[in-house]
């Protein structure tokens, strides 16, 4: 069996390792070479209001884009073509970043305080969920011109009209958005296909604080701050209303102080099981995805924040809350055992898998570093310098419902 | 609720409809404008040895690339960055097409007769399965330089050494390829992570003729030409060897002449059920994805070839074999009923969903036309002229295991 050229093929890897950590970023806007966008991404630099444009094939930083405002808790969605990232800032800023030129294409301050957003299935609309003044605003993805303003109006128990904070905003099939009303205890769907946006309202549990949608866009699940359990809406059968799942799940089972409520977006579904961060416990919970009954508890080294399955569902990667947040643990989804404890740096905030799952990028805020691991060897293959990095978002999200 | 700008937002759609059918394709290679690659794709023009570069946002043809040889039964995989499509021709040609410039970047004649290929999980290797001289050849995705030659050597029952045709080649997690040996009744895995490619061999059923891998890269399933049933390999537990599933499935149940063996790649998995084209019957079979038992038969208007689930798993789209191949039927995955019969043109050959599932592109070879349907309304939203179009492949495949 003739085999040749392996050494040569390894060279790009060595080169990539050699150039990581390079500080000399090219100035924004001087890029004219043609480039595919499928292996690009953005890393949030939360303290400096900037983002890094990165390349996952070369493990390299292409440019730094500045002037994005308050990026604590920022997130990103992508245009259909993967060229533009829409960055949702905490200060209500919505910034359209051009990854090819490393510049800001459009930017608006759309509210006083926002908490994430989504892009519609057809790519034409960007929706943002707001704390102040609450509600959801929808923008043209091309120009960021306003398209619709959806106040989250409700009536308090005492009869007074009020406006609710909105959270857990995701896109859903049929060009819909789904989000939760923290103050109103409701889940709303917003249909953007009609001549006017059409809203449907569903009563949820007490104080939904975050939400996720399953990868096929069928189930919307909201975490509850005010009671145990989770509220689930089956978007294939909205007439059936909200179902309560995992009734014992939540703060009620807490025996330790909760340093951070777990993120819902990171929930892992693998092999018919859901892997869920326990609230306040040093455990990952295992639920049967068919009936959402609790089937197991996996001991881990701290309070889990993100619990994410690798794209091949073989591994569950877990990040943790302060003060045990300098460690990532990897669980085998078959044996349910921790197979590796990694130390990517201080204050690990986020993880992002490459779309086919060969590598995962991990940000360590207080080490000013992003580490790339091989999911096969569980060893680091590259590190990149970044200023207080938090969220990592690859353009493959453009092709994924709910991301 | 203020709503504004909807008419303006509809304009791009009208423009897109107005320019479809445009014949004046720009000459290849004159493209310098920056462009994202996430919403691009290739359409095979099988009779003329050419491909169209298309844009799914604008429903437009960007360029035509010629000189690709015999493209009957051609297929495409994509580089990690979505810029390059690797086109596998029937004549053993392997062509690397640059979608941004509309030109051929590299081209080799790698065998006398080939039948598809795959790109490795890390994007570094292109593998091609061959009829003549059989076996699998692996190339550097950057240069198309040869990396490995894997003859499919086996020993005939009479003791003579022989070489087998290979079929059903797919990529799998762990930078592996998996394929079937038609003449040797075996399934092989090829691990590209070692210093030398490492092969493992598994005995399969009689004459495997095609294969698929489930979206998480766990199960490889081969269709059998020589007997009923299918051969399945669990890549998480390869030591358990091959399992026979759907034992009654295949030619043995045929009561009609089989005009075309169904494609396996198109198999749909939705809501815990697999939807499978019956061989020679006017039926789509429904199997329980847990134990692969047959749970239902859905009557359709002809012999199904492709049976594909929309990305949200709500619809199953079915194309058919000659002579009833001018029709596509849409099945509701919940009610298991045909909800629409569409007539996209003569000799429908392939269907491709946009990655978030809002639209599906359908090629009609003998009508020289590709029709784009909305999955929501099931109405056509655009048509494009193409010369004898067959396969349609979007760059989102770059981000999908097994495609």
B356 contacts on A by Cβ (under 8 Å): 121-122, 171, 173, 399-401
* Averaged pLDDT for residues A334-359: 97
Q: What are phi and psi of B365, to 5 degrees?
A: -55, -55
Which residues 351-380 of chain A have a CB within 8 Å of chain B?
Answer: 355-358, 376
Integer Rg of chain B from CA: 21
Is any Cβ of chain A less than 8 angstroms from the Cβ of B398?
A: yes
Chain B residue whose CA is closest to A10: B124
pLDDT of residue B275: 93
A311/B401 Cβ within 8 A: yes
Return the ∠ at Cα B59 (arms to A32 and B310), rounded to 5°: 110
Question: Would you say residue A51 has pLDDT above 90?
Answer: yes
What does each C-alpha distance from B160 to A161, B153, B343 come to in angstroms? 86, 11, 51
| Chain B residue whose CA is closest to A57 | B80
As a whole number of angstroms, the distance between CA B130 and CA B139 comes to: 14
Closest-CA residue in chain B for A13? Answer: B124
Q: How far is Cα B279 from Cα B257, in angstroms, rounded to an integer? A: 9
* Cβ distance of A36 and B173 shorter than 8 Å: no
Map chain B to HEC letters. Answer: CCECCHHHHHHHHHHHHHHCCCCCCCCCCCCCCCCCCCCEEEEEECCCCEEEEEECCCCEEEEEECCCCCCCCCEEEECCCCCEEEEECCCCEEEEEECCCCEEEEEEECCCEEEEEEECCCCCEEEEEEEECCCEEEEECCCCCEEEEECCEEECCCCCEEECCEEEEEEECCCEEEEEECCCCEEEEEECCCCCCEEEEEECCCCEEEEEECCCCCEEEEEECCCCCEEEEECCCHHHCEEEECCCCCHHHCCCCCCCCCCCCCCEEECCEEEEECCCCCEEEEEECCCCCEEEEEECCCCEEEEEECCCCCEEEEEECCCCCCCEEEEECCCCCEEEEECCCCCEEEEEECCCCCEEEEEEHHHCEEEEEECCCCCEEEEEECCCEEEEEEHHHHHCCCC
Cα distance between the two ends of chain A = 44
CA distance B17 to chain A (A): 16
Q: How many CA atoms lie within 13 A of A192 on its CB side?
A: 33
- What confidence category does residue B254 fall into, taking pLDDT thresholds of 50, 70 and 90? low
Confidence at residue B2, expressed as pLDDT on a 0 to 100 scale: 35
Judging contacts by C-beta atoms under 8 Å, the chain A residues touching residue B311 are 173, 216-217, 401
- In Å, how far is B257's CA from the nearest CA of chain A? 37
- Whether B7 shows a pLDDT value over 50: the answer reads no
Q: pLDDT tens, B145-191?
A: 999 999 999 999 999 999 999 999 999 999 999 999 999 999 999 99
Instruction: Give residue A37's pLDDT.
Output: 98
The answer, for B133 touching chain A at a CB cutoff of 8 Å, is no
The number of angstroms, rounded, from the C-alpha of B347 to the middle of its chain's C-alpha atoms is 17
In this prediction, residue B279 carries a pLDDT of 85
CB atoms within 10 A of CB B399: 26
Is the previous residue joined to B323 through a cis bond, with omega within 30 degrees of 0? yes
At A251 the pLDDT is 67
Interface test with A, best of B15, B34, B393, B400 (most A CBs within 10 A): B34
Task: Test A57 with B334 for CB contact under 8 angstroms.
Answer: no
Q: In whole angstroms, give the CA distance from residue A303 to residue A104.
A: 37
Give the nearest chain A residue to B10 (CA atoms): A124
Contact between chains at B150 and A100 (C-beta distance less than 8 A): no
Phi-psi label, residue A84: left if phi above 0, alpha if psi -120 to 50, beta otherwise:
beta
**Distance, CA of B233 to chain centre:** 20
Q: Does A293 reach chain B within 8 Å, measured CB to CB?
A: no
Q: Which residues of B touch A34 (CB under 8 A)?
A: 31-32, 34-35, 83, 100-101
Q: Do A175 and B358 touch (CB under 8 A)?
A: yes
8 A C-beta contact, residue A376 and residue A353: no
> How open is the CA angle B287-B291-B295, to the nearest 5 degrees?
30
Nearest-by-CA chain B residue for A98: B36
**Backbone angles phi and psi of A238, in degrees to 5:** -60, -25
Closest-CA residue of B relative to A101 is B34
Q: How many residues does chain B have?
A: 403
DSSP string computed for A336-394 = --EEEEE---SSEEEEEE-TTSSEEEEEEGGGTEEEEEETTT-SEEEEEE-SSEEEEEE
Residue of chain A nearest B3, judged by CA positions: A148
Q: What is the DSSP letter of A261?
A: P
C-alpha triplet A247, A248, A253: angle, nearest 5°: 155
Using a CB-CB cut-off of 8 Å, the residues of chain B touching A236 are 314, 334
The verdict on B236 touching A (C-beta cutoff 8 Å) is yes
Q: Residue B16: which pLDDT band, with cuts at 50, 70 and 90?
A: very low
Q: State how far residue A312 is from chain B, nearest Cα, in angstroms.
A: 5
Q: Provide the sign of the torsion angle of the four alpha carbons B258, B262, B268, B272, taken in this order.
A: positive
How much is the pLDDT for B27?
Answer: 47
Q: Is A385 exposed, middle or buried (0-12, 13-18, 19+ CB in 10 A)?
A: middle
What is the distance in angstroms between the CA of the first residue and the CA of the last residue of chain B?
A: 44
Dihedral class, residue A131 (left if φ above 0, else alpha if ψ from -120 to 50, else beta): alpha
Nearest chain A Cα distance for residue B290, angstroms: 10
* Interface residue B14 vs chain A (CB under 8 A): no
Could you give the percent of chain A with pLDDT greater than 90?
Answer: 74
Radius of gyration in angstroms for the set of CA atoms belonging to chain A, rounded to a whole number = 21
Quote the percentage of chain A above a pLDDT of 70: 89
Question: What's A402's DSSP letter?
Answer: T
pLDDT of residue B289: 82
The 3-state DSSP class for residue A240 equals helix
| In contact, A49 and A389? CB cutoff 8 Å | no
Q: Does B193 sit within 8 Å of A376, measured CB to CB?
A: yes
Tens-place pLDDT, residues A277-325: 988 889 999 998 888 888 999 999 999 999 999 999 999 999 999 999 9
Q: Going by C-beta distance under 8 Å and a sequence separation of 6 or more, which residues neighbour residue A377?
A: none
* Yes or no, beta carbons of A399 and B356 under 8 Å apart: yes
Q: Which helix (H) or strand (E) holds A120?
A: none
Among the partner-chain residues B147, B150, B175, the one whose CB lies closest to the CB of A358 is: B175
Residue A81 region by backbone torsions, left for phi larger than 0, else alpha for psi between -120 and 50, else beta: alpha
pLDDT at A253 over 80: no
Cis peptide before A174 (omega within 30 of 0): no
Å between B296 CA and nearest CA of chain A: 21
Q: Which residue has the tokens 């994430």?
A: A116
**Is A7 exposed, middle or buried (CB count within 10 Å of its CB: 0-12, 13-18, 19+)?**
exposed
**Which residues 296-325 of chain A have a CB within 8 Å of chain B?**
311-314
How close B321 gets to chain A, by Cα (Å)? 29
Instruction: Give the chain B residue nearest A125 (alpha carbons).
Output: B9
Using alpha carbons, list the distances in angstroms from residue B270 to A290, B256, B276, B289: 14, 28, 11, 9
Q: Residues 70 to 109 of B: which have CB under 8 A from any A CB?
A: 78-84, 99-101
Confidence of residue B1 (pLDDT cuts 50, 70, 90): very low
Contact yes or no for A145 and B84 at CB 8 A: no
The alpha carbon dihedral of A292, A293, A299, A303 has a sign of positive
Name every chain A residue with its beta carbon within 8 A of the beta carbon of B33: none
Contact A216 B9 (CB under 8 A): no
Mutate to test the interface with B, among A6, A12, A312, A374 (most CBs of B within 10 A): A312
**Higher per-residue confidence, B272 vs A117:** A117
The phi-psi region of residue A279 (left if phi > 0; otherwise alpha if psi is between -120 and 50; otherwise beta) is: beta
- Residue A333 near chain B (CB below 8 Å): no
Separation between Cα atoms, residue B400 and residue B222, nearest integer Å: 20
Q: Cα–Cα distance between B63 and B51 in angstroms, integer?
A: 8
- ipTM of this complex: 0.90
Angle ∠(A216,A283,A214) on CA atoms, nearest 5: 5
DSSP state of A226: S
- The answer to whether the beta carbons of residues A38 and A60 sit under 8 Å apart is no
Task: Tell me what pLDDT residue A226 has.
Answer: 87
Contacts of A174 in chain B (CB under 8 A): 376
Residue B272 tokens, joined:
């815990």
Residues of B in contact with A396 (CB under 8 A): 399
- What is the residue-averaged pLDDT of chain B? 89
The predicted-structure confidence for B348-384, as pLDDT tens digits, reads as follows 999 999 999 999 999 999 999 999 999 999 999 999 9
Q: Give the whole-angstrom CA distance, residue B342 versus residue B104.
A: 35
Interface test with B, best of A11, A80, A101 (most B CBs within 10 A): A80
Q: Which residues of A touch B121 (CB under 8 A)?
A: 356-358
What is the token pair recorded at A313?
Answer: 């569902």
pLDDT for the residue A293: 86
In angstroms, the CA B309 to CA B336 distance is: 12
């Amino acid at each position: 069996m003739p085999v040749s050229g392996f050494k040569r093929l390894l060279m790009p890897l060595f080169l990539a390792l050699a150039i990581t950590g390079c500080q000399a970023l090219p100035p924004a806007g001087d890029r004219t070479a043609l480039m595919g966008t499928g292996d690009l991404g953005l890393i949030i630099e939360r303290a400096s209001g900037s983002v890094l444009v990165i390349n996952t094939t070369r493990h390299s930083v292409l440019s730094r884009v500045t002037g994005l405002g308050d990026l604590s808790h920022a997130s990103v969605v992508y245009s259909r073509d993967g060229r533009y990232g829409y960055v949702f800032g905490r200060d209500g800023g919505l910034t359209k970043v051009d990854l090819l030129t490393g510049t800001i294409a459009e930017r608006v301050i759309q509210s006083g305080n926002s908490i994430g957003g989504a892009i519609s299935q057809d790519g034409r609309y960007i929706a943002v969920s707001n704390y102040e003044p609450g509600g959801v605003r929808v923008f043209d993805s091309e120009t960021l011109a306003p398209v619709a303003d959806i106040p989250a109006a409700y009536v308090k128990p005492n009869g007074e009209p009020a406006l609710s904070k909105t959270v857990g905003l995701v896109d859903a099939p049929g060009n819909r958005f789904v989000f939760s009303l923290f103050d109103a205890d409701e889940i709303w769907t917003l249909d953007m296909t009609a001549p006017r946006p059409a809203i449907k309202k569903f009563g949820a549990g007490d104080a939904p604080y975050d939400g996720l949608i399953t990868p096929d866009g069928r189930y919307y699940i909201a975490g509850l701050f005010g009671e145990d359990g989770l509220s689930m809406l089956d978007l294939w059968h909205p007439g059936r209303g909200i179902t309560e799942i995992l009734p014992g799940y939540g703060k009620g089972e807490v025996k330790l102080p909760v340093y951070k409520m777990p993120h819902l977006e990171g929930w892992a579904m693998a092999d018919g099981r859901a892997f869920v961060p326990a609230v306040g416990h040093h455990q990952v919970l295992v639920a049967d995805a068919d009936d959402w009954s609790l089937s197991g508890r996996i001991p881990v080294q701290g309070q889990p924040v993100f619990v994410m399955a690798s794209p091949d569902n073989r591994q569950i990667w877990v990040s943790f809350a302060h003060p045990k947040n300098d460690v990532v643990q990897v669980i085998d989804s078959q044996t349910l055992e921790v197979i590796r404890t990694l130390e990517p740096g201080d204050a690990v905030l986020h993880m992002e898998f490459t779309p086919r799952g060969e590598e995962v990028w991990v940000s360590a805020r207080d080490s000013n570093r992003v580490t790339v691991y091989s999911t096969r060897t569980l060893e680091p293959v590259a590190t990149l310098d970044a200023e207080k990095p938090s969220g990592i978002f690859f353009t493959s999200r453009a092709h994924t419902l709910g991301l």
